[in-house]
Amino acid sequence: MNRDANGAVELAPPIERLAVGFTRVLRQAGLKVPASATINFTQALGAVGMAERSGPYWAGRATLVNKPEDIDVYDQAFLAYWDQRAGVGFVIETPPDDQATLALDTDDEDDAPDGDDDDEPEQPEDLISLRFSRLEVLGEKDFAECTQDEIAELSVLLGALRFTTHQRQSLRHKRVKGSGDRADLRRTVQLALKHQGEPIRRSFTNPASKPRALTLILDVSGSMETYARALIRFCHAAVVARNRVEVFALGTRLTRITRQLSNHDPDAAIAAATPEVADWSGGTRLGDAIGEFNNEWGVKGMARGGVVVILSDGWDRGEPEILGEQMERLHRVTHELIWVNPLKASPGYAPLAAGMAAAYPHLDKFVSGHSYNSLADLAMLLAGSTLRN
């Protein structure tokens, strides 16, 4: 794509211009087509080409249609838009000088006109505007770059995240309708007594399941200050959303803040938890703190067979050998050990810092946690563990 003298993006015909025009027709027909779908559709067209009719059709079906009931509307819009422009062999031609200008804008509910419309500059007739909602923009924005107001908006979204409870197989069995893994002899005999001892109906059981424990260990040191304010909101959402969740604040020492975060009012919960953490925005001794967790809570039962999530950038003032040893101990007793590092999203990042390098070999998953979208992915990851004894 080229840019004109004013810096606007000029779409090179025909693919980009026709893709944007088609999505506009779909919106007029009543379909909800976000700007990201338009971009995906344009990329799909570039991959499949337009030499045959099936190329644009299936590219649009795959990227622009979200519900089966929208297919009929899509088909009618496709006939109305693409087939009118189809030549022999469905090769679409556009005059070289027929260009459109693409303008990117963001929706903001707080924006309001300050003056008369006459003061606004005139827009060209062929201007095509793609608008991104404010929430779409904030979802990808790094927490470190967010203002206090933006963090407040994202906190509301974090509070709405759904945390599905991890399940593990129990030694107990539960009765099921129909056939199951094991015959329930006691229940089968009880039913047979109602029919003169004839086992007309047989009963079965399947292994029961119980929720896994989830432990969140949040680094609140100075290097994590810009992320801790959002991550503690994520921890609060997990505590109030499901059972068997524990939260610890980690700095130069370890502080258990589960009880303080159990208040359903997020502001009150965080206000109660913050004074309990004496080393907030201080230094970090990851190895000693993880060792304290292992000795006092983790190895004794809290982490055994559960999921442990450490939210930290990996910067450590302690000895990396101690951290590596304690992470190995923790990994041996957990079902899954996950490290969430906000720096992972940085271009070219690699876990080369001494602390992070010592912990990395003992992790099951290493993910980023720099934005709302990354934490939403983490919530889905925590809900997706497979059953394991």
Instruction: Evaluate whether residue 228 is within a structural domain.
Output: yes
Banded model confidence at residue 8, pLDDT cuts 50, 70, 90 = very low
For residue 25, the cross-strand partners are: none
Same domain, 191 and 294: no
State both tokens at 175.
Answer: 């009765």
Based on the structure, what is the number of domains in the chain?
3
Q: Give the model confidence (pLDDT) of 17-44 as tens digits.
A: 778 888 888 888 888 888 778 888 888 8
Cβ proximity of 131 and 35 under 8 Å: yes
Q: Please give the angle made by the CA atoms of 4, 28 and 24, to the nearest 5 degrees.
A: 25
Residue type, 276: E
- With 70 as the cut, is the pLDDT of residue 262 above it? yes
Residue type, 381: L
Cα 81 off chain centre by: 36
Parent domain of 190: 170-210
- Is the dihedral angle over the CA atoms 23, 100, 39, 5 positive or is it negative? negative
Same domain, 276 and 308: yes
Instruction: Evaluate whether residue 389 is within a structural domain.
Output: no
| Least confident segment among 78-92, 220-234, 269-283 | 78-92
pTM, whole model, 2 decimals? 0.61
Same domain, 114 and 176: no
DSSP state of 237: H
- With 90 as the cut, is the pLDDT of residue 271 above it? yes
Banded model confidence at residue 161, pLDDT cuts 50, 70, 90 = confident
pLDDT average, residue stretch 300-304: 89
pLDDT average, residue stretch 237-262: 92
Q: Give the model confidence (pLDDT) of 143-158 as tens digits.
A: 988 888 888 888 888 8
CA–CA dist 273, 228 (Å, integer): 13
Most confident of 138-142, 314-318, 336-340, 377-381: 336-340
Q: What per-residue confidence (pLDDT) applies to 170?
A: 65
Q: Give the model confidence (pLDDT) of 170-219 as tens digits.
A: 667 777 777 777 787 788 788 888 877 777 788 888 777 777 889 999 99
State both tokens at 118.
Answer: 């006459």
Instruction: Evaluate whether residue 248 is within a structural domain.
Output: yes
Cα 129 off chain centre by: 28
Phi, psi (degrees; rounded to nearest 5) at 85: -100, 5
- With 80 as the cut, is the pLDDT of residue 377 above it? yes
Q: Give the model confidence (pLDDT) of 342-371 as tens digits.
A: 999 988 899 988 999 999 999 999 999 999
Instruction: Evaluate whether residue 138 is within a structural domain.
Output: no
Instruction: Evaluate whether residue 148 is within a structural domain.
Output: no
- With 50 as the cut, is the pLDDT of residue 89 above it? no
Q: Would residue 209 be called left, alpha or beta, if left means φ above 0 and alpha means ψ between -120 and 50 degrees? A: beta
For residue 217, the cross-strand partners are: 248, 310
Give Rg (Cα) of the chain.
28
Same domain, 281 and 377: yes
Same domain, 373 and 261: yes
User: Can you give the CATH number for the domain in which 361 is found?
Assistant: 3.40.50.410
Same domain, 127 and 185: no
pLDDT average, residue stretch 220-229: 91
Q: What per-residue confidence (pLDDT) applies to 87?
A: 42
CA–CA dist 210, 29 (Å, integer): 48
Same domain, 264 and 367: yes
Same domain, 200 and 318: no
Banded model confidence at residue 107, pLDDT cuts 50, 70, 90 = low
CA–CA dist 212, 338 (Å, integer): 15
Instruction: Evaluate whether residue 146 is within a structural domain.
Output: no
Beta strands at 307-311 and 214-219: parallel, antiparallel or unpaired: parallel
Q: DSSP of 273-340, one letter per residue?
A: HGGG-TTTTS---HHHHHHHHIIIIIIIIISTTSEEEEE-----SS-HHHHHHHHHHHHHH-SEEEEE
Q: What per-residue confidence (pLDDT) applies to 154?
A: 87
Alpha helices in the chain (DSSP H): 15-28, 35-48, 54-64, 71-81, 134-140, 148-159, 185-193, 225-241, 258-261, 266-273, 286-293, 320-333, 354-359, 372-382
Q: What per-residue confidence (pLDDT) applies to 358?
A: 94
Strand order in the sheet with 307-311: 254-256, 245-250, 214-219, 307-311, 336-340, 365-367
Decide which of 162, 182, 210 is a domain's last residue: 210
Instruction: Evaluate whether residue 162 is within a structural domain.
Output: no
Same domain, 226 and 94: no
Same domain, 62 and 201: no
CA–CA dist 258, 248 (Å, integer): 7
Q: Give the model confidence (pLDDT) of 51-71 as tens digits.
A: 777 888 888 888 898 888 888
Instruction: Evaluate whether residue 61 is within a structural domain.
Output: yes
Same domain, 194 and 124: no
Same domain, 177 and 236: no
Q: Which residue has the tokens 């009150």?
A: 268
